[in-house]
């Protein structure tokens, strides 16, 4: 195993442990956070707020680095506009998060805590990702070349 893989594995384990310790891998706690008109639980807001501190530090450190410590270059997002695909995906994600109380990170962590319910969610999540990828490829084949060229330039 190379150094980059080991660091990614350590970061994933740390993230999963943080989710488990904070209770954010518990779907009931997440749904209670989203229930602003009922028995609202603000815990998730404190966890998100607490996550801002190391993130701000990481971005400050990144500005001083020429490249990451274990990668040839930074791989930062380049998209800067909101489009229908992003808005639709965000909406579907939010609805799913509200119904299930899980999103990808906690779902993976829950595989160790609640294997059967988490496995059903992860299976559905991976199926959705696959369907989206297949649909995207299908639409690319159907689109006239002029539309594809406009979107990529």
Crossing angle for the helix pair 3-22 and 104-113, nearest 10 degrees?
80
Question: What digits encode the pLDDT tens for the residues 109-152?
Answer: 888 888 898 899 899 889 988 998 898 888 777 766 655 555 55
| Length of the chain (residues) | 153
Cα-only R_g, the chain: 19
User: What is the overall mean pLDDT for the chain?
Assistant: 84
Question: What digits encode the pLDDT tens for the residues 93-108?
Answer: 888 888 888 888 888 8
CB 44 within 8 A of CB 30: yes
CB 19 within 8 A of CB 104: no
Q: What does the alpha-carbon distance between residue 84 and residue 91 come to, in Å, rounded to a whole number?
A: 10
* pLDDT of amino acid 57: 94
């Amino acid at each position: 195993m190379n150094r980059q893989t080991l660091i990614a594995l350590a970061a994933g384990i740390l993230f999963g442990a943080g989710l488990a310790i904070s209770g954010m891998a518990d779907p009931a706690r997440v749904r209670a956070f989203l229930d602003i008109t009922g028995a609202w639980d603000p815990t998730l807001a404190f966890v998100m707020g607490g996550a801002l501190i190391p993130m701000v530090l990481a971005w400050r450190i990144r500005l001083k680095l020429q490249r990451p410590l274990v990668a040839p270059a930074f791989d930062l997002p380049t998209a800067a506009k909101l489009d229908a695909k992003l808005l639709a995906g965000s909406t579907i994600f939010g609805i799913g998060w509200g119904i299930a109380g899980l999103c990808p990170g906690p779902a993976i962590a829950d595989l160790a805590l609640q294997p059967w319910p988490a496995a059903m969610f992860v299976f559905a999540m991976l199926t959705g990702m696959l369907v989206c990828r297949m649909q995207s490829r299908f639409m690319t084949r159907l689109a006239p070349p002029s539309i594809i060229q406009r979107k990529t330039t």
